Structure 1
């Protein structure tokens, strides 16, 4: 038996940039162990599995190489890209994804894909003494949400030069660590990086946290964001009350069939 599978680079319009994700469409209900084995075999940060319920409606699951995820932005963007590029979804209507984080929707807007995700608000807390001692004045604030830890840094240069080892040592118990600051680059409002503990190229779900955080401080609902990993990625973030819209593009790297 074979299942169709794709590798997609999300939050970019260029091959070999953005965040790679695999998208697989099982032809039968795969056991969790089999899905986990496929994610390990793909060896990417995320592998998405799509199960069609009806036209433009799918059950969506995400697996890392070690476990099933609660929420993943770039693999959702990749999944929507595949469905529209392959003609499996009507471009004139949104795609509905039923997930562990509830109902998520994707909309086609020209070359862009708009994802409708839940807001993941950041709760501020005192800066950890070891973090404050090691990093000094570049740490402006610390917080957390249900998924991640968060550190606000003073400048974009601080974000670019940040060495995460000390933060990783002390900030545990959550998926990862988001660092972010206002950006000084042209056509960009905020910059970020994400460590879990290795660096993730572009993390859509992290922007469900830092988008609303910076929108409140900057005083604008729509922000242009850049994630400053070695691959780099760009997206627009639009805050709507308890929802966050992530807007980006994706490109197909390869497609084939997986023998299972």
Structure 2
């Protein structure tokens, strides 16, 4: 069996920036164990598998090198890039078990607008000591949603200077950690650490912006925000917050197309 594989840089319009994802469009689902092995072999932060449905939508699943995950924004953007090109579409409707329906529209300028369920963080009094011990700079407050702990800082320089202890943050599983602060150039910046579920630091994380954008929309009293994830590769997106959803808009570029031999 041969499968076509695409590698796409997401949340960027430049090669070698943003976050890379692998995309494999299938006629029928593979065995779960095989998809896990492919995700590990690809060794990118996520591999997205898609499968076209009879109603014209696409089922989508995401695999990190370690496990299947519930939701991945940048690999969804990468998949939309591939499928719009492959099927000559300007709109993609994805179906995912954990997050339901995801609508992706390709804009005239080549960017993609992705509407996701809002996952705003909430105040929590149950903050593990390992979280504070795993961060070199202490946050001013900590929030939480079903994906991660939100370490809130006052200064973007704190985000840039922050160091982490992955062994300690790994004990927070199944939750990851996002550090965020307001920014002079953007509305807010962030960094995302996920040693329990994929790797030490993710380059650009679309899914966590469904929580970051609502938080900063409330803090800054804005519905449209500019966001930058300050990883070593860096990635930028526009965020629009509505009552029940968050729309993330970003670009993607192709790095590679190849063949997997099974």
Contact 2:73–2:206, Cα closer than 8 Å, also in 1: yes
Following TM superposition, by how much is the alpha carbon of 1:85 offset from its aligned partner in structure 2, in angstroms? 2.1
Aligned ranges for residues 77-226 of structure 1 at < 5 Å? 77-86=77-86, 88-91=87-90, 94-100=91-97, 101-110=99-108, 111-126=110-125, 138-165=138-165, 168-169=168-169, 172-185=172-185, 188-197=186-195, 198-226=200-228
- Structure 1 residues 67 and 136, CA, compared in 2 at 3 Å: closer, same or farther? closer
User: RMSD of aligned C-alpha atoms?
Assistant: 2.1
Contact 1:60 1:99 (8 Å CA) reproduced: yes
What TM-score, normalized by structure 1, do the two folds share?
0.92
Partners of 1:239 and 1:50 lie apart in 2 by 27
Are the structure 2 counterparts of residues 162 and 85 from structure 1 closer, same or farther at C-alpha, using a change threshold of 3 Å?
Answer: same
Which residue is equivalent to 1:252?
Answer: 254
In 2, Cα distance between equivalents of 1:130 and 1:30: 38
Q: 1:51 Cα shift?
A: 0.3
Cα separation, partners in 2 of 1:161 and 1:146, compared to 1, 3 Å: same
> 1:84 Cα deviation (Å)?
1.4
Contact 1:55 1:89 in 2 (8 A): no
1:157–1:30: structure 2 CA closer, same or farther, 3 Å change rule? same
Q: Deviations over 1:49-87 (max 9, x none)?
A: 01011475101000111111101000000000001122x
After superposition, the Cα gap between the structure-2 partners of 1:139 and 1:166, relative to the gap in structure 1 and judged at 3 Å, is farther
Aligned equivalents of 2:61, 2:222: Cα separation in 1: 33
Moved over 6 A (4+): 133-137
1:227 partnered with 2:225:
no
Give CA deviations for 1:194-218 in whole Å, capped at 9, x if unaligned: 0002000000001000100000010
> How far 1:124 moved relative to its partner?
1.4
| TM-score normalised per structure 2 | 0.91
Give per-residue Cα distances to partners, 1:73-103, cap 9 Å, x unaligned.
Answer: 00000000001122x1422xx2110102111
For residues 53 and 259 of structure 2, the distance between their equivalents in structure 1, rounded to whole angstroms, comes to 21
Is 1:21 the counterpart of 2:12? The answer is no
Whole-Å separation in 1 of the counterparts to 2:143 and 2:167: 13
Give the distance between the partners of 1:166 and 1:6, measured in 2 at CA: 30
Q: Secondary structure of 2:255's partner?
A: strand
